[in-house]
Amino acid sequence: MIEKAKQILATSDSVLANIIATIPTPENLSTNDVFHDLMSCIIEQQIHYRSTKKIFQKMLQKASLDTLSLENFAQLEEIAFENANFSINKYETIERTIDYFQTNKINWQDLSDDEIIEKLSSIKGIGKWTIDMILLYTLQRPNVFPYDDFHLKEIMVRLYGLNPNVKLKKQMLDISNTWHEHKSLAVNYLLSWKVFNKQIK
């Protein structure tokens, strides 16, 4: 399945064809835990798979936790929040997310992408980028294009010669439309290309 997707991407996009031929196939490990990963995005403003500062991971370690849940959140709050200096908005988003998960028991894998977007969007403070990260990394949906992602914008401007000052979102979407239903794999290749090039320098 992934080999067929790689072939489709390489055929439709010469930039991706070069990347696919150059770097290993991206592998994303997933927690499959929407609550844990949402909290990572809220607390660190980054999903912990991609984090360089490791703020969320350090907080978990401080509280002697591997995975954050509704049941152990109070432990994290008591031990690791004291010097966190969170904004009021961030605290409120954390509280609203806890309330939502306490009230709603959801099997996220049973939902369509649109249903997931609808449910997570109902939590005030959870925006499109965060939802895209959950779809892309946590639930590993195949057709996600997080055009709001800073790193993806930076990479696409560089590799595709885009003008960042003129309708960048439209330029990015036009390119992503050539990827058909394999947008997530294309995105993972582009993000992995940046990491790969840092490693070989």
User: What CATH number corresponds to the domain at position 9?
Assistant: 1.10.1670.40
Let me know: does 144 contact 132? Beta carbons within 8 Å: yes
Residues 190 and 173 in one domain: yes
Residues 114 and 177 in one domain: no
The DSSP code for 82 is T
Share of the chain above pLDDT 90, in %: 83
The rounded distance, in Å, linking the Cα atoms of 30 and 188 is 14
Split at pLDDT 50, 70, 90, the class of 149 is very high
- 119: domain range? 34-138
Residues 188 and 167 in one domain: yes
The rounded distance, in Å, linking the Cα atoms of 41 and 119 is 17
Residues 78 and 106 in one domain: yes
pLDDT at 201: 42
pTM for the model: 0.92
Residues 164 and 89 in one domain: no
The rounded distance, in Å, linking the Cα atoms of 61 and 76 is 9
Residues 38 and 134 in one domain: yes
Helices and strands, counts by H and E, the chain: 11, 0
The rounded distance, in Å, linking the Cα atoms of 56 and 116 is 24
Model confidence pLDDT, tens digit, residues 74-113: 999 999 998 788 889 999 999 999 999 999 999 999 999 9
Split at pLDDT 50, 70, 90, the class of 13 is very high
Model confidence pLDDT, tens digit, residues 23-58: 999 988 788 999 999 999 999 887 776 766 788 999
User: How many structural domains are present in the chain?
Assistant: 2
The rounded distance, in Å, linking the Cα atoms of 120 and 111 is 12
pLDDT at 200: 42
| Helix ranges restricted to H, 134-182 | 150-160, 168-176
Distance of CA 69 to the CA centre of its chain: 19
Split at pLDDT 50, 70, 90, the class of 156 is very high
How much is the average pLDDT of 107-123? 97
CA distances from 110 to 94, 107, 201 (A): 24, 6, 43
